[in-house]
A and B are shown apart, each in its own frame.
Chain A
Amino acid sequence: MKLTLKIWRQKNAEDKGAIVDYPIDGIEPDMSFLEMLDVLNEQLINKGEEPVAFDHDCREGICGMCSLFINGEAHGPDRGVTTCQLHMRMFKDGDTIFIEPFRAKAFPVIKDLVVDRSSFDRIQHAGGFISVNTSGNTIDANTIPINKHDADMAFDAATCIGCGACVATCKNSSAMLFVSAKVSQYALLPQGRIEATDRVLNMVHQMDAEGFGNCTNTGACEVECPKGISLENIARMNREYLSASLKG
């Protein structure tokens, strides 16, 4: 395959950045998108040019590290996949492909296609946990009966890998899907109910403080989420938040 890549290049956080064109040839349809970028970087290094910086780690769709906004969509045109699971067979010979970093005020660009998603970590630190005494008297979680439906929904919410595709694809850069998944995975389980009020208030407060936009329920986040996190989680978080606000 012969392609024209239009890649966002930015030397550092202070640099203004711009789209730069890179023609590339010899790309196999069975290559992953990140392998295609590896090929490009080898060529750039051989020419003595700066390779394109991009995030990646497990390359198995588990870690949530790879990002990239490809041809106007988070993780590219395929559904239910991260960028490392996206293959070049999704594109045609001769295509022009735009490759940009995830864009949001709360995800500042560090270099080229690498963004700082530590705002998600700070939201998690604000309440995405349960407090358990681990001194040796901890009750085995399996001894607490949990409704199968609730357990399944909690597990579904817990599959969120925090990649940030929801923020990147939302026209408002809203983080509601991510935060609601983290709130839901605890709110649905008895162990999480104890701190539920403080959790939702603190996590939403941190989300707002980070500068994410408001949810307008377009549903784009659910479509682009590589783990299929449902919008039901956002409705649940709204209920949890309203209830917690009334409790104070």
Chain B
Amino acid sequence: MAQSALLNASILKKVAMALSGIFLITFLALHVSLNFISIISEEVFNQASHFMGYNPLIQYVMQPVLAIGVIFHFVMGFILTLQNSAARPIAYAKYNGAANASWTSRNMIISGLVILAFLGLHFYDFWIPEVAYKYVAGTAPDATRYYGELVHKFHDPIRTGLYCISFVLLGFHLWHGFSSSLQSMGMNNKYSRSLSRFGYGFAVVVPALFVIIALFHHFNN
């Protein structure tokens, strides 16, 4: 079979989608762990953030890899969604999707679009100011600024609310995404069932921790 046919194969696209999803799930675990430090110790949070912000391996290797992973996951998600829409050019007059599949599994594109919009806000809040601080203004490193910057962002109740709503949708996305990625990679056995249960726990605990962190800084400061 030609290489081009293999690269366009629906199964390989789904496997690539699953692998990028698992990579982003790993990143989320790291992100929530670091953020959670902010409600335990201001000093340790500043130290950890400074390390992440100035470590060359993280800045010049991990950050670009993460960006590629995020962009790939979204672009592939849109491509698959467009292909899926084209596979049914005439819609049913009556379609009872809730009769046989969960809302989360049927609406990954909706939860994904909310997460994409959230990423735009998140970049506006943290990533763009960070790049401006370090690379545009060329300001000298200050290892004590991170906690204050984080807390400042959660003063606004609307922004805090938008963050919380996004985290709930992230939970929906993870609820289906984790077990779906295992199935796409060909895992459906007694071990994958345990892993899926871990995934459901992850989909609840990680977004809940993000919500707790946002609300903690909103009400505590």
Q: Which residues of A contact B (CB under 8 A)?
A: 6, 8, 19, 69, 71-73, 77, 98, 100, 103-106, 169, 171-174, 201-202, 204-205, 207-208, 211-220, 223-224, 231-232, 234-239, 241-242, 245, 248
Contact = CB atoms under 8 A, between A and B. Distances in A.
23 contacts: A71-B94, A72-B96, A77-B99, A98-B93, A100-B94, A105-B87, A169-B100, A171-B84, A171-B97, A171-B101, A173-B87, A205-B1, A205-B5, A214-B84, A218-B100, A219-B105, A220-B101, A236-B186, A236-B188, A238-B11, A238-B183, A238-B186, A248-B1
Interface stretch (B12-20, B40-48, B53-61, B164-172): B12-20
B157 to A, nearest CB: 36
A217 B112 CA distance: 16
A217 B180 contact: yes
Contacts of B111: none
A172 B186 contact: no
B187 interface: yes
Interface of B: 1, 5-6, 8-15, 80, 83-84, 86-97, 99-102, 105-106, 108, 176, 179-180, 183-188, 192
A108 to B, nearest CB: 10
Contacts of B15: 238, 242
B106 A8 contact: no
Contacts of B90: 103
A220 B15 CA distance: 20
Is the contact region of chain A dominated by helix, strand, or loop, or is it mixed? mixed
A213 B88 contact: yes
Contact of A224 (B9, B87, B100): B100
A77 B106 CA distance: 19
A208 to B, nearest CB: 5
B1 A212 contact: no
B6 A215 contact: no
A218 B188 contact: no
Q: Give me the 6 closest cross-chain CB pairs, A-B, nearest first.
A: A72-B96, A235-B188, A213-B87, A239-B186, A172-B84, A223-B100
B183 A217 contact: yes
Nearest to B79: A214
A213 B14 CA distance: 11
A94 B167 CA distance: 44
B12 to A, nearest CB: 7
A219 B101 contact: yes
B92 A69 contact: yes
Given A201-B1, A236-B186, A211 B101 contact: no
Given A216-B108, A217-B183, A73 B88 contact: no
B9 A205 contact: yes
